[in-house]
Structure 1
Amino acid sequence: MSTASIRFLMCPPTYYDVDYVINPWMEGNVHKSSRDRAVEQWQKLFHVMKEHAVVDLVEPQLGVPDMVFTANAGLVLENTVVLSRFYHKERQGEEPFFQQWFEQNGFTVHTLPKDLPFEGAGDALLDREGRWLWAGYGFRSELDSHPYLAKWLDIEVLSLRLMDERFYHLDTCFCPLANGYLLYYPPAFDSYSNRLIEMRVPEHKRIAVDEPDAVNFACNAVNIDRVIIMNKASDDLKQRLEQVGFRIVETPLTEFLKAGGAAKCLTLRVTESVQPLHHAAATIESRTIQLQGHLLDSGLISRALDLVSEGGGSFQVLNFHLGEQKQSTSSAEIRVTAPSHDVMEKIMSQLIDLGAVAPPQEVCDNPLEIVTQDGVAPDDFYVTTIYPTEVRVNCEWVRVQNQRMDGAIVVSQTPEGVVAECKLLRDLRKGDRVVVGVEGIRTVRKTESREVRTANDKEFSFMGSGVSSERRVELVVEQIAWELRQIRDRGGKMVVVAGPVVIHTGGAEHLSRLIREGYVQALLGGNAIAVHDIEQALMGTSLGVDMQRGVSVRGGHRHHLKAINTIRRCGSIAKAVEQGVLTSGIFYECVKHNVPFSLAGSIRDDGPLPDTQMDLLAAQADYARLIQGADMILMLSSMLHSIGVGNMTPAGVKMVCVDINPAVVTKLSDRGSVESVGIVTDVGLFLSLLVQQLGKLTSPYQLAQIVQTVQ
């Protein structure tokens, strides 16, 4: 295109000033811009532009000082313009003046829905070869505007998410150049957008700027053929651009930087041609979800909308029904939009975890794919969570059986009807039908009334889902003891996952007592806890340290191997008890009181004990068997075993993780279950306090017996 045929629209800075704050650059600069210096800088830019193109002017208007930034007037392609819908009310007054100019100059004008922000060529930049349109979103323009651009301009739209509030418009950090080159600041974008850029622009044509150039708005430049007009560039950047054939023209625009704009913001190219590779294409995807519950006071609606935004999508609340009474639930219908199918799937997976579901009329059946290789799921299989899950089959909701984390959902037809169940990848068999995608899936989340959520007296709440600090340990122990007594007296099930630290910290006698008094129904651990417990029972030491005096015993480092050898001679822990060799300790109590235990081996195990399961998959299956039906799981200083158990435990099971290492308890608390709590403390101290507190309690069962006796 010849210079004479290239046209730009500019607006004189007659009324320009920083009158308000709508971006970070304006902060501290209100009414601190020099009008005279701004006019002088604008005039210099105007004359530079006229040397390379024809410049048309739009009449400035009183009351809209940012009208000088004509890039935001709209997006022009050939004789069509999509008019801007400004995000901030401070700029919305510009819209009729720009619309009038475009209509008077023969453009076909498209206007977006009233509440759908889109800020023109500030957030939409044509590839300079005319192959596609780069469109930004995240601060000023909504992702939902991009399908309109694709339709009205008949061009492929590539959506880029902006992450740095300093670069609130795409043109502040992204500048397509002639011959397929790109000048941009990668940290301004999320990882998905950077991957998209790298897929479309070859590495040798990507010119990434450093932060000093970015904050000088080097990317907010005007490119006309081989000329780049900008506020300022470092010597290094100028050299890199010159090496690939561009000529840099610097013209200071510091007064306009105070409002967050530079050369590109001050100009709008109104002669744009296109040779698209793809017509009317936008990769964005939209879905509608429903949420129900105490959406406001539980913060559920805020968490859902934050997940959408943080995940790279946008949303529109279509309907919201607020419960009229404090015990009433609310409901919301939300339209979620994402820049691609992959991003949408990630967002939807997280929303499903919150209890979101597609409207029933939209999904009758879950998509299913057939397993073609044993132990290998289809690529897009749904990964399960700890929460009770239902899938849509034959337009009905079917509860998934054997709920656990990190599995696939297999749907099968049985004589009793349709069955859906969680299966680990290794258990999948050729021919299984596996749920794929996230359509027609919902997690069943408990909806509690305000009274239950705020109760803190008799209801066991585990102090929310979090990590308790040292000074709250005694309070939490009281709550745990109360719940343990309830579980035991009603014939429930408590499972302990324990590491060797229980022995080292003097907790063996307390855990033994819990087993003896009927509080423990299963014990999970590794080879080490059993070895050290047995070493202490046989020799009074743990890892060669005298547990009474706290000092090393001469030759004590051999004790653990001697303990292993003794049990191996007997044939098993149970046989050692039967033969009278093992007469005390945790595992002695397990054998005497018929409490099942499972020991999972590892590569570091000495011996191992005959009871230790060295087949990892068999050990996992044994763990899963023993935790079935558990009401509570008490995890005592065993990071790997605890995390493994946490992953195979469904929501609804109360979990207590005790460890001196905050990272361990945080890991378990972060699993998302509201029934879990982490306690950062010495595990021996915790067990001592727990046993003491249990001794103080009188259970409802005992109380009833006392009353009956008195009567």
Structure 2
Amino acid sequence: MTDQTRILMCSPDHYDVDYVINPWMEGNVHKSSQAKAVEQWQALHAIIKEHAIVESVPPAKGWPDMVFTANAGLVLGKKAILSRFYHPERQGEEPYFKAWFAENGFQVYELPQDLPFEGAGDALFDRGTGALWAGYGFRSELDSHAYIAQWLDVEVLSLRLIDPRFYHLDTCFCPLDDGYVLYYPPAFDTYSNALIEKRIPEEKRIVVPEPDAVNFACNAVNVGDVIIMNKISTELENAIHAKGFKTRQTSLTEFLKAGGAAKCLTLKTTEPVQGEPQANHPVDSRIIHLEGHLLDAGILNTALDLINEQGGSAKVLNFNLGLERKNTSSANVRVSAPSSTVMEDMMLALIEMGAINASDEDVKDADLETISQMGVAPDDFYVTNIYPTEVRVRGQWISVSHQRMDGAIAITENNGQIQARCRLLRDLQVGEKVVVGVDGIRTNHKTTKHASQDKQEFSFMGAGVSSERRVELVVENIAWELQKIRSQGGKVAVTAGPVVIHTGGAQHLSSLIRQGYVQTLLGGNAIAVHDIEQSMMGTSLGVDMNKGVPVRGGHRHHLKVINTVRRCGSIANAVEKGLITKGVMYECVKKNVPFCLAGSIRDDGPLPDTEMDLIRAQTEYSRLLEGTNMVLMLSTMLHSIGVGNMTPAGVKMVCVDINPAVVTKLSDRGSVESVGVVTDVGLFLSLLTRQLDRLNDEVGVTV
């Protein structure tokens, strides 16, 4: 027997499954045999007594889970951190455990009442380094880890639990002597598994298969080279023995009904202090400020869900509710993360939702770093999104111009005027300053009216994808919006692929351009080639557009067209010479609608107007998109993705394709003003022009 090891237990005099506070209790209320539970507990008690001194805390009537002494608190040396139970069903145990610790000479530390922490059920010392593995996610809050690190002067390693079956760390993770660990990886998130693998060599990790994990194989008591545990499979037993450990197995089925096994029934009270103090800062915390229609728009719930999903924890510090429907609400939320990396990822997502990184004092200015190499930003530069953004410099909020996705924010100062602009990485200049980190940044989200507020208000669905049966209804809304934009002198951009021509949509797109509904056209070499081929030769990719059949020698038509236009020097010259007499490109030339054709490696020819320098093409796309009110994306995924990345929030987008996957990819970009239409693009354009003609007839407009 090892005299130095002392373990606290509590007899199951009042044990039963009286309520449900974990998945194991479901269906087991009052189905545990008291006699069998006593028998199994005594068997475990006897085995542990062979290897350690067993101490007892008297059971209290009315608190059936006191038998699970692992949750009494966390002990190191003569310090004990008392548990703060998450569920009211167990909170009454706290005074009894506190009294026992005090009576036995421990200095007792108590966490704030509203900060759950469930003792050695969620905090386990590494037997090799003395660091503390601390779990959170279900019963214990991440913010408790900072207190633990300070009070015990230990390094705390935070692990997030994600499987509700393994609601305490000790149900899926068991540190063993000499730095080994017995654990079930699927119980943890990706970050936590990476941390375990970083800290514990592969040869010292014993992975538990799921059948053994659900029998709480990890919920074991380790004393020296002996592991005392519930019954396990032969395969796991052999794996443990291969690492030099012995197993003592005893049935604990009655306690499994309440979600516990050997480790849950014990608390080691002789945890030695190892080495020098190693207190760290295991939690990165900051306060964010949210403002808007937090409840009716679901912003607050979405933010809290996001924090939880990304491995953090949150506490609403204050909430000010707008008294009337038109009023906005505001809230301050403390956000915590197990590392600065997780915090930065979380904050980037929260900033996109409109959160401001705040504190109890004034909001911080943005952190800036100077560019030392052209086209290269610092590693932690802030990556922009589609929403209107402001950055705080020298105490003032500066609006960021040229808003777009996937850029950096460059700060310049001329004659005392501070300017902020989105720049692509390649455009960053030496000497410019860029925003790094997430301080001093806020985004503004447009609040859209509910459709019922204005029956004529064009309401885009949040990244919605319309099925065939809804196409006509959506087309009516799009036609109404196009007419409104035209009447107000607005701007509509079309990005189109050659499918528009192949499906017979050229005449309809030509009509839109001719009637003044389109102010710029973006595409590739192919749409222009096949449009001109149809105009000059009546085919598209060699297929007769009237008969729908290939023509002899048709496969050469597009090359003949390219050659003809190249001889003229440009599309405009070919139009002026009367070689191109109709079609999309013809109307663009005649109506002075600017266009940009971005080339690719597969282009034949290409046409003389096609920009084969990708960087120049992107720059021209961006220029032509300035001031756009709506973008029609017509069956061209890659060009449309490029356009989407260049376009700020607030620009309405219509994504049309026969492939639902393409439509979803294009429309699901975070904007509340985009709609996807799954249909044949030729049919869509036909319906659209027909609906516009109806609207014009109704109001007596002649075009």
The change in CA–CA distance for 1:210 and 1:90 in structure 2 (over 3 A counts) is same
- For 1:63 and 1:131, locate their aligned partners in 2 and report how far apart those are by CA, in whole Å: 36
- Secondary structure of the 2:290 match is strand
- For 1:370 and 1:265, locate their aligned partners in 2 and report how far apart those are by CA, in whole Å: 54
Task: Kindly report which structure 2 residues correspond to 1:39-54, keeping only aligned pairs within 5 A, or say none.
Answer: 39-54=38-53
Letter paired with 1:383: V
Deviation readout 1:560-615 (Å, 9 max, x if unpaired): 22221221222211111111111111101111111111111111111111111111
- Secondary structure of the 1:196 match is helix
Letter paired with 1:394: R
Contact 2:461 2:674 in 1 (8 A): no
Worse-matched range after superposition: 547-556 or 84-93? 547-556
Aligned to 2:551: 553
Letter paired with 1:506: G
- For 1:465 and 1:498, locate their aligned partners in 2 and report how far apart those are by CA, in whole Å: 20
Worse-matched range after superposition: 155-164 or 538-547? 538-547
Task: Kindly report which structure 2 residues correspond to 1:140-219, keeping only aligned pairs within 5 A, or say none.
Answer: 140-219=139-218
Worse-matched range after superposition: 141-150 or 229-238? 229-238
Contact 2:374 2:428 in 1 (8 A): yes
- Secondary structure of the 1:473 match is helix
- Secondary structure of the 2:522 match is strand
- Secondary structure of the 2:356 match is coil
The change in CA–CA distance for 1:199 and 1:454 in structure 2 (over 3 A counts) is farther
Worse-matched range after superposition: 138-147 or 16-25? 16-25
Contact 2:637 2:666 in 1 (8 A): no
- Secondary structure of the 1:350 match is helix
Worse-matched range after superposition: 75-84 or 547-556? 547-556
Aligned to 1:365: 365
- For 2:130 and 2:462, locate their aligned partners in 1 and report how far apart those are by CA, in whole Å: 54
Aligned to 2:414: 414
**CA deviation after TM superposition for structure 1 residue 233, in Å:** 2.1
- For 1:699 and 1:381, locate their aligned partners in 2 and report how far apart those are by CA, in whole Å: 53
- For 1:267 and 1:464, locate their aligned partners in 2 and report how far apart those are by CA, in whole Å: 52
- For 1:411 and 1:609, locate their aligned partners in 2 and report how far apart those are by CA, in whole Å: 39
Relative to the length of structure 1, the TM-score reads 0.97
- Secondary structure of the 1:478 match is helix
- Secondary structure of the 1:519 match is coil
Aligned to 2:260: 261
Aligned to 2:377: 377
**CA deviation after TM superposition for structure 1 residue 555, in Å:** 2.1
Task: Kindly report which structure 2 residues correspond to 1:341-360, keeping only aligned pairs within 5 A, or say none.
Answer: 341-359=340-358
Aligned to 2:688: 690
Aligned to 1:708: none
Deviation readout 1:164-196 (Å, 9 max, x if unpaired): 111100000001110111111111111111111
- Secondary structure of the 2:149 match is helix
Contact 1:498 1:635 in 2 (8 A): yes
**CA deviation after TM superposition for structure 1 residue 14, in Å:** 1.1
Aligned to 1:325: 324
Aligned to 2:404: 404
The change in CA–CA distance for 1:289 and 1:532 in structure 2 (over 3 A counts) is same
Contact 1:462 1:676 in 2 (8 A): yes
Letter paired with 1:371: I
The change in CA–CA distance for 1:29 and 1:672 in structure 2 (over 3 A counts) is same
- For 1:678 and 1:596, locate their aligned partners in 2 and report how far apart those are by CA, in whole Å: 26
- For 1:43 and 1:228, locate their aligned partners in 2 and report how far apart those are by CA, in whole Å: 17
Worse-matched range after superposition: 139-148 or 236-245? 236-245
Contact 2:505 2:682 in 1 (8 A): yes
- For 1:598 and 1:232, locate their aligned partners in 2 and report how far apart those are by CA, in whole Å: 71
**CA deviation after TM superposition for structure 1 residue 282, in Å:** 2.6
Aligned to 2:597: 599
Letter paired with 2:442: R
Say yes or no: does 1:12 pair with 2:11.
yes
The change in CA–CA distance for 1:276 and 1:374 in structure 2 (over 3 A counts) is farther
- For 1:321 and 1:566, locate their aligned partners in 2 and report how far apart those are by CA, in whole Å: 69
Q: Identify the match of residue 614 of structure 1 among 603, 612, 615.
A: 612
Q: Which runs of 5+ in 2 are unaligned?
A: none
Q: Identify the match of residue 522 of structure 2 among 524, 535, 541.
A: 524
**CA deviation after TM superposition for structure 1 residue 416, in Å:** 5.4
Letter paired with 1:295: L
Number of matched residues? 701
Q: Identify the match of residue 501 of structure 1 among 499, 502, 524.
A: 499
Aligned to 1:316: 315
Letter paired with 2:426: R
Relative to the length of structure 2, the TM-score reads 0.98
Deviation readout 1:344-386 (Å, 9 max, x if unpaired): 1111111111111133843342111111211110011000000
The change in CA–CA distance for 1:541 and 1:613 in structure 2 (over 3 A counts) is same
Aligned to 1:27: 26
Contact 2:315 2:335 in 1 (8 A): yes
- Secondary structure of the 1:410 match is strand
Letter paired with 2:141: E
The change in CA–CA distance for 1:320 and 1:203 in structure 2 (over 3 A counts) is same
- For 2:37 and 2:222, locate their aligned partners in 1 and report how far apart those are by CA, in whole Å: 22
Letter paired with 1:691: T
Q: Identify the match of residue 659 of structure 2 among 658, 661, 668.
A: 661
Say yes or no: does 1:468 pair with 2:466.
yes
- For 1:149 and 1:169, locate their aligned partners in 2 and report how far apart those are by CA, in whole Å: 17
Aligned to 1:128: 127
- For 1:632 and 1:608, locate their aligned partners in 2 and report how far apart those are by CA, in whole Å: 29
- For 2:239 and 2:412, locate their aligned partners in 1 and report how far apart those are by CA, in whole Å: 61
Letter paired with 1:372: S
Deviation readout 1:278-324 (Å, 9 max, x if unpaired): 52213311101111111100001101111111111001111001111
Contact 1:158 1:282 in 2 (8 A): no
- For 1:570 and 1:379, locate their aligned partners in 2 and report how far apart those are by CA, in whole Å: 49
- For 2:109 and 2:147, locate their aligned partners in 1 and report how far apart those are by CA, in whole Å: 9
Contact 1:486 1:699 in 2 (8 A): no
Contact 1:463 1:476 in 2 (8 A): no
Aligned to 1:681: 679
RMSD across aligned positions (CA) = 1.5
Contact 2:364 2:439 in 1 (8 A): no
**CA deviation after TM superposition for structure 1 residue 453, in Å:** 6.3
- For 1:11 and 1:669, locate their aligned partners in 2 and report how far apart those are by CA, in whole Å: 59
- For 2:11 and 2:634, locate their aligned partners in 1 and report how far apart those are by CA, in whole Å: 72
Worse-matched range after superposition: 267-276 or 66-75? 267-276
Task: Kindly report which structure 2 residues correspond to 1:44-123, keeping only aligned pairs within 5 A, or say none.
Answer: 44-123=43-122
Deviation readout 1:95-126 (Å, 9 max, x if unpaired): 11111111111111111101110000000001
- For 1:470 and 1:677, locate their aligned partners in 2 and report how far apart those are by CA, in whole Å: 13
- Secondary structure of the 2:305 match is helix
Same amino acid, percent of matched pairs: 68
**CA deviation after TM superposition for structure 1 residue 538, in Å:** 1.3
**CA deviation after TM superposition for structure 1 residue 665, in Å:** 1.6
Contact 1:7 1:56 in 2 (8 A): yes
- Secondary structure of the 2:213 match is helix
Letter paired with 1:619: A
- For 1:680 and 1:33, locate their aligned partners in 2 and report how far apart those are by CA, in whole Å: 56
The change in CA–CA distance for 1:369 and 1:453 in structure 2 (over 3 A counts) is farther
Contact 1:532 1:543 in 2 (8 A): yes
**CA deviation after TM superposition for structure 1 residue 253, in Å:** 0.7
**CA deviation after TM superposition for structure 1 residue 59, in Å:** 1.0
- For 2:203 and 2:7, locate their aligned partners in 1 and report how far apart those are by CA, in whole Å: 30
Q: Which runs of 5+ in 1 are unaligned?
A: 706-711
- Secondary structure of the 1:168 match is coil
- For 1:83 and 1:129, locate their aligned partners in 2 and report how far apart those are by CA, in whole Å: 25
Aligned to 1:566: 564
